[in-house]
Structure 1
Amino acid sequence: MGMQTSVFYENMVQEAGQKLLEIASYLKTEDLAQIKLAITYATDAHATQTRKSGEPYITHPIAVATELALWRMDVQSLVAALLHDVLEDTGTTKKQLSAVFGEKIADLVDGLSKLDKLEYEDTQAIQAENFRKMVLAMTKDIRVIIVKLSDRLHNMRTLDIMRPDKRRRIAKETLEIYAPIANRLGLNHVYRELQDLSFQNMYPARYATLAKAVKAARNNRRDVVGKILQSFSQQLVACNIEAKIRGREKNLYSIYCKMRDKKLSFSSVLDIFGFRIIVDSVSACYVAIGALHALYKPIPGKFKDYIAIPKSNGYQSLHTTLFGPFGTPIEVQVRTNSMDAVAEDGIASHWMYKSTDDKVDEATIRTHQWLQSVLDMQAQSESAVEFLEHVKVDLFPNEVYVFTPKGKIMVMPQGATPVDFAYAVHTDVGHQCVGARINHKLVPLRTVLRNGDNVEIITSTKSSPNPSWLSFVVTGRARSSIRSYLKNMKEHDAIALGERLLNQALSALLPESLLLSEDLKHAYLEELANKKLSFNDVLYDVGMGRVLPIFVARQLTELAGKHLGSEVKMSPVLVRGNESGGLQMARCCRPIPGDPIVALLIKDQGLMIHRQDCPNILRFPPENHLDANWDSVGSKRYQATIVVKSQDTRGLLASIASSISNCEANIESVETPSGNQAGTEGFIEFEFKIQIVNLVQLNQIVQAIQSIPQVKSVERR
């Protein structure tokens, strides 16, 4: 039995290899010889390995290469597909592969190989790091992702051997990442099949029910489809238009999404059939659509011209929906042959059709633009997990088309805002964005863009990104740019604060000439014996509260040859009125200039300033407490809360507000916390949140309010 199985599998591998060579016969003789060599090399490398189905493992790489041959990819792609698991699973090195097949193919295979799992702690991090490695390889050579999509397609076709939980996990990843990437690259047939295979493995019962319903509908509507095809053909012939007409059926996943999102029953989804009209020229596309509109009435608002304004992946077609016979809506796409090539094969059409038609190469141009934005996101992402999140966000299937003031078309994802638009123009435009005009009218930055909007961004060199933008931007580029800027600003603030704290700690211990001198910094880093660390890293840790400044000061002073007593204490921290992110005012007690204060060094937050009588400072050990004084205070305003208890009389609120205003303070809000809280009929309590400059101004306000006859008490909360 074992001998028969062995012979059966040998024949299977031989037949699969022969089929690949037959389909790849479009290649040169020397290219086919290299494919034969790769089949032999991969067969030997995977000789002892089998798939979960029991088949020899080599059947998988051959199937992946065969799919690529159907897409008419070049010889290097096919060879890389045959070898794509050799580095990862067989112990073969990249150097060995390069010696036999050349450096280019070795680079392709390396880009497809996963990283060593021992380097990372959790599954999410492994997935993210592998994805980042593949994407970076893809930005150097787009064929990496095309081979990967063929690999994923074959794995999805043979997924039924896996455990149900693993099938669901792989299907979910395919639906979230690989299907949208196929769509981005314009590989439409791959996109649709990956969607349906994912749907089948995630929800097998729903898939089976819907497949059965579509099959029944196909039989029931055969006469209707036949009638439409015949009427289309007669109308186009009558208008002297040469065309190929194809009926097409929506894929199951898109029907399922429509039912789910619009809460429809299957019987309510009438447009499961569509038609594709393929003509010879762009002008014939418009003539054909006019002829069809004369035959069946178009549904208003359903005409879309993707020839004049192509989709971001290079897709071009005219779309319309017609009122067909018996009230059936008919979806129609009209395009040229070259547009059809791009629509079905996207970036792969670059290799498939060596045409002089610029439209075929449209997919290549737009793909490279997308890859550049992916590279920008990679540079700005703090971790692989964050990068994966940004790329997922950026894989939007739905788009809006807007115009710059100069009339240039910009393709944006659905839900995009002026801030997304600003970052799409340039990172600096995004950073300096302060306002926007849509169709010449000023609008809030969170306004959602619509098709045809004319968008103008107002910038200022003094502006910087606002953290609140992260709550409404939708593009990965905008999100990663904002996060990167805020992270760098936080780092800059923390380093500056760390240097300030360390200088204050050292000022009583070392002469000024030695304070953080380059020689002292160098000596300290040598003492730490960490070659990857810079002194800015030390200052950052001090500024973020991870290391106490007095601890670093002691080590530096010892290195400088001084001896410290046990009572060394750093000089007080001087708090200015214009502090940035490295130093924060506590919200619990809201200190204002003039209050006695203490500074707490809190890990990963930096310095937090509290009033000296704030009970929360007792939660931190004494070594985290630093003396602090107010330095020169500018015009910055601070929030303070005052509670006023008074007799409830007409015009009282106006009198209190006038007293606050006369002291040049701003009222932020006013509330009556619990109605008649003063405890006696005819009394009322107000809580005012006010913006003031310092304690002197607050005292003036308290005195002014107390001078109102009806007021019984004024307290700062």
Structure 2
Amino acid sequence: MADHPSDFLPPEDDPAYRVFIDSLSYLPPEEVQIVRKAYLFSEEAHRGQLRLSGEPYITHPLAVAGAIAEWQMDVEGVVAALLHDVMEDTSVGKGEIAERFGKPVADLVDGLSKLDKIEFQSQEDAQAENFRKMLMAMASDLRVVLIKLADRHHNLQTMAAVRVEKRRRIARETLEIYAPIANRLGLNKLFSELQDLSFQLIYPMRARVLGRALNAARGNRRELLSRILAGIKGKLRAANIDAQVFGREKSLYSIYRKMLDKRLSFSQVLDVYGFRVVVNDVPTTYLALGALHALYKPVPGKFKDYIAIAKPNGYQSLHTTLIGPHGTPFELQIRTEAMDNVAQEGIASHWLYKDSESFGADLQKKTTNWFHSLLDLQNATGNSSEFIEHVKVDLFPHEIYVFTPKGKIIPLPRGATVVDLAYAVHTDIGNQAVMGRVNFNMVPLATELTNGDRVEIVTAADAHPLAEWLNHVKTGRARSKIRHYLKTAQDDESTALGEKMLGQELRALGVAASEVPVSRWKSVLRDSGNKLIKEVYTDIGLGFRLAGVVARRLLTLDDSSPTAGTPASSLVIRGSEGMAVQFAPCCQPIPGDPIIGSIWKGKGLVIHTHDCPAIRKARSAKPTKWIDVEWEPERDRLFSVRVQVVVQNTLGALGRIATEISSSGTNIVNVNMDDRQPGLYTTLNFTVQVADRTSLARLMRSLRRIPEVVRIARAQGLPA
């Protein structure tokens, strides 16, 4: 597309274009000329394309660029906004954009383009992968997210011609992802507008009814609000405090959410209106707070100091709720002008307000760190859908602040636990956490934290994450790190188990594993599609390949060939192999029990006792699926086993039995009582941890000596 004279003859008769060019007065004339060229390039690329409303397509990128210009973004950002759809919707490629407008602009446009040319299994996968790519681009250049949010904002404003289902889907996606991102970046004005527009698209009738109620309330309360406003201004003047005072109104969606969450009617939502006081410096904010608390009584527990402890998105302000005339509560916000700039425009204040440059630079650093933490989530996550769920968790507003022993403040979502904090500090701290010390008291890792807690993480070098931690963590970072560790650990354990199983099969065929030629391994790898021998071992350990089949192929034997060499030996296990070896809950095998194993796809080796009633049919139906297993003499763990005790229904029987178990050095994991048939006898079900069958027999003998014990036996079958 070569330059021609029309490149430099913009359509001055278009009012929208003239307004847009006039808004670029903050740019030097030579940069405005670059923007003009970018407009013409975009207009020519999109020529002939129409939006569903029937308007020329160029009206959309022009509107997005206009929003970007309101933030006074640099020329590269404005040009990228004008070109943000050309790679996606036209034949223009990244190379052509780079040649005409430079590589930074091309990278911005590429980060904003969707992945339409890739095949995905579902719409959800496509959405997740698009979002993943956008986050990667955001982490390298924050202008990407601002252009994307402006793009989404204009799309929501112009959805009248879009079919209802698509309209609602896009609006829900905005509420779940894009509005929270705007909030996380401190773009409060845009955040509220995205929420309200989405609310109106998803629930148009509810939005109309609520809007009418709000207009009516505004009229009814006009005189009262004027009195409060005059009172605030008068009190500040009397205290010689120079301040600007503004009335503010809650957004439709925030009112709707409050009604929904607290099950209130509109008339019960009293703090629909509030006031904002803007002063010159930080000390004056506290002076203004004292003066206004003397004018109107504050509501206890409703004061929040976001100046001393800023929100993660950089927001700073004092918040208090006061009781005005006639008992009407209203919210008051007090902040400096620089804080107000950041509160309204967030990360965009970096470009928009030169006097708040230090605020903007600090916020930009925090935001970049946040995006990089999302990339850490991506690296630890198995798939795009799982990744986007983790991101949604982290986009919820942070509501509590806790302190480390060194005084560092860490924000967490409400309901977060000691584990969440451990991973927020460092991945290694999370992986090795064993306890928490909250306000100098030892607590379990599942303990929920509250605002202002002082928390120390107690670690141990041999500790590791447990799968049950996933039941009580709240942050996406903690959840993804735990899953990543468990998956890696399972793969490592499965690799070791698979190597052992293959070695056993090779010995049964009369060959040592070390004697298998490299050429045979290359042949097996080529046929299997694996790249490494380790991957074959892992597949065997996870049950995706049969060790016998792989052994025969390594020796170029037919799968039906009779076994040569020594008879197959039993597979020796320690019981501490981790997730690669699982003990069946139906029979709970312990060392000393005759055992047998079966490989299940994705689970690894599952161990049963030989006489387990749950596997009788399976063993006879598929005998080749089962392998003989035996215990290694040296073991280093305890095993859970269920013991059923029938006792006389007398006072204190449970306590005497529990005391006897504990005094024998045995740990009680769980105890419950079967009271379905009350009478002379009660059945107690204990789950205890023992080293082997001998220690279990010793425990049962000691329990039989208790007078109240009528019968004792090891339980069989799954627990009720």
- The answer as to whether partners of 1:17 and 1:39 remain within 8 angstroms in 2 is no
Query: Does the 8 Å CA contact 2:124/2:385 hold for their aligned counterparts?
Result: yes
Aligned counterparts of 1:303 and 1:707: Cα–Cα separation in 2: 64
Q: Which amino acid aligns with 1:630?
A: W
What's the counterpart of residue 314 of structure 1?
Answer: 314
Does the CA-based 8 Å contact 2:509-2:563 persist in structure 1?
no
Does residue 531 of structure 2 align to residue 501 of structure 1?
A: no
Matches within 5 A, 1:590-605: 590-605=588-603
1:636 corresponds to? 637
Task: Name the CA distance, whole Å, in 2 between partners of 1:288 and 1:655.
Answer: 66
Q: Distance in 2 between matches of 1:341 and 1:266?
A: 31
One-letter identity of the residue aligned with 1:211: G
1:710 Cα deviation after fit: 9.2
Report the Cα offset of residue 516 of structure 1: 5.9
Aligned residue type for 2:543: G
Per the alignment, in what secondary structure is the counterpart of residue 355 of structure 1?
A: helix
Query: Secondary structure of 1:159's match?
Result: coil
2:11–2:17 CA contact under 8 A, matched in 1: no
Deviations 1:118-139 (A, max 9, x none): 4211111111001001001110
Residues 514-570 of structure 1 deviation map (CA, whole Å, 9 limit, x = unaligned): 346766534432444x4x6322221111110010001111111129xx999423564
Code of the aligned partner of 1:619: A
Match in the other structure for 2:455: 455
Normalised by the length of structure 2, the TM-score is 0.91
Local SS of the residue matching 2:49: coil
Q: What pairs up with 1:289-438 in 2 under 5 angstroms?
A: 289-355=289-355, 357-438=357-438
Tell me which amino acid in the other structure corresponds to 1:628: V
Gaps of at least 5 residues in structure 1 are 1-9
Q: Could you say which residue in structure 1 is the equivalent of 2:626? A: 625
Q: Is the 8 A contact 1:671 1:686 kept in 2?
A: yes
Aligned residue identity for 1:693: A
Q: Deviations over 1:553-590 (max 9, x none)?
A: 1111129xx99942356432112232311011111122
With 265-274 and 635-644 compared, the bigger mean Cα shift is at 635-644
One-letter amino acid of the structure 2 residue matched with residue 546 of structure 1: F
Q: CA deviation at 1:594?
A: 2.4
The Cα offsets for residues 276-304 of structure 1, whole Å up to 9 and x where unpaired, read as 11122122222222222222222222222
Tell me if 1:587 matches 2:574: no
What code does the residue aligned with 2:562 have? S
Q: Which residue of 1 aligns with 2:542?
A: 544
1:645 Cα deviation after fit: 6.2
Contact 1:278–1:334 (CA<8 Å) still a contact in 2?
Answer: yes
Q: 1:319 to 1:696 in 2, by over 3 A?
A: closer
What's the secondary structure of 1:24's corresponding residue? coil
Contact 1:64 1:151 in 2 (8 A): yes
Kept in 1: contact 2:298–2:323 (CA 8 A): yes
Structure 1 stretch displaced more, 287-296 or 506-515: 506-515
2: distance between equivalents of 1:324 and 1:51? 50
Q: Which range is displaced more, 340-349 or 353-362?
A: 353-362
Give the C-alpha shift of residue 482 in structure 1.
1.1
Q: 1:175 to 1:515 in 2, by over 3 A?
A: farther
**Whole-angstrom distance in 2 between the partners of 1:226 and 1:269:** 19
Query: What corresponds to 1:6 in structure 2?
Result: none
With 385-394 and 409-418 compared, the bigger mean Cα shift is at: 409-418
Matches within 5 A, 1:147-296: 147-296=147-296
Which one is further off, 289-298 or 701-710?
A: 701-710
- Which residue type is aligned with residue 635 of structure 2? G
Q: 1:73–1:670: structure 2 CA closer, same or farther, 3 Å change rule?
A: closer
Of 347-356 and 388-397, more deviation after overlay is shown by: 347-356
Instruction: Check the 8 A contact 1:675/1:684 in 2, yes or no.
Output: no
Following the alignment from structure 2 to structure 1, what is the Cα–Cα distance between the partners of residues 323 and 542? 66
Maintained 8 Å contact 2:188/2:346: yes
* Alpha carbons of structure 1 residues 356 and 588: separation in structure 2 relative to 1, 3 Å: closer
The question of whether the paired residues in 2 share the 8 Å contact of 1:525 and 1:534 is answered with yes
CA distance in 2, matches of 1:185, 1:591: 54
CA 1:110 to 1:675, structure 2 compared with 1: closer, same or farther past 3 Å? closer
> TM-score, normalising length from structure 1?
0.91
Q: For residues 152-171 of structure 1, what are the alpha-carbon distances to aligned partners after superposition, in whole Å with 9 as ceiling and x for unaligned?
A: 00011112222222222111
Partner of 2:56: 56
The size of the alignment, in residue pairs, is: 701
1:444, 1:707 → 2: CA distance?
A: 36
- Is the 8 Å Cα contact of residues 574 and 631 (structure 1) preserved in structure 2? yes
Deviation at 1:117, TM superposition (A): 5.5
Q: Indicate the residue corresponding to 2:574 in structure 1.
A: 576
In the alignment, the residues of structure 1 paired with residue 659 and residue 339 of structure 2 have an alpha-carbon distance, to the nearest angstrom, of: 71
Q: Which moved more, 1:514-523 or 1:587-596?
A: 514-523
Which deviations, in whole Å up to 9, do the C-alpha atoms of 1:664-713 show, x marking residues without a partner? 65555566646669xxx967665554433333444555666778899886
Distance (whole Å) between structure 1 residues aligned to residue 287 and residue 685 of structure 2: 71
Segment of structure 1 superposing worse, 693-702 or 320-329: 693-702
What secondary structure, in the 3-state scheme, does the structure 1 residue paired with 2:24 have? helix
Which SS does the other structure have where 1:369 is aligned? Answer: helix
Q: Distance in 2 between matches of 1:668 and 1:284?
A: 59
Within a 5 Å distance, the mapping from 1:101-180 to structure 2 comes to 101-116=101-116, 118-180=118-180
Classify 1:92/1:571 alpha carbon distance in 2 versus 1 (closer, same or farther; 3 Å). Answer: farther
Instruction: Please give the secondary structure, in 2, of the residue aligned with 1:314.
Output: coil
Which one is further off, 476-485 or 187-196?
Answer: 476-485
1:4 corresponds to: none
Range moving further from structure 2, 569-578 or 60-69? 569-578
Query: What is the deviation of 1:229?
Result: 2.0
Tell me, in whole angstroms, the C-alpha distance in 1 between the residues paired with 2:420 and 2:441. Answer: 18
Residues 295 and 486 (structure 1), Cα distance of their counterparts in 2 relative to 1, 3 Å cut: same
Question: Which deviates more, 504-513 or 641-650?
Answer: 641-650
For residues 335 and 711 of structure 1, the distance between their equivalents in structure 2, rounded to whole angstroms, comes to: 72
Counterpart mapping for 1:467-478 below 5 A: 467-478=467-478
Partners of 1:45 and 1:624 in 2: CA distance: 63
Contact 2:507 2:513 in 1 (8 A): no
CA contact (8 A) 2:493 2:577 kept: no
What is the rounded CA distance, in whole Å, between the counterparts of 1:324 and 1:644 in structure 2? 67
Instruction: For residue 19 of structure 1, report the CA deviation from its aligned partner.
Output: 1.8
Secondary structure at the aligned position of 1:333 is classed as: strand
1:361 to partner: Cα distance:
2.5
* Distance (whole Å) between structure 1 residues aligned to residue 186 and residue 638 of structure 2: 54
2:350–2:356 CA contact under 8 A, matched in 1: no
Give 1:67's aligned residue.
Answer: 67
Aligned to 1:7: none
Q: Map residues 476-495 of structure 1 onto 2, 5 A cutoff.
A: 476-495=476-495
Label 1:534 to 1:471 Cα distance change in 2 as closer, same or farther (>3 A).
same
Are the structure 2 counterparts of residues 594 and 453 from structure 1 closer, same or farther at C-alpha, using a change threshold of 3 Å? Answer: closer
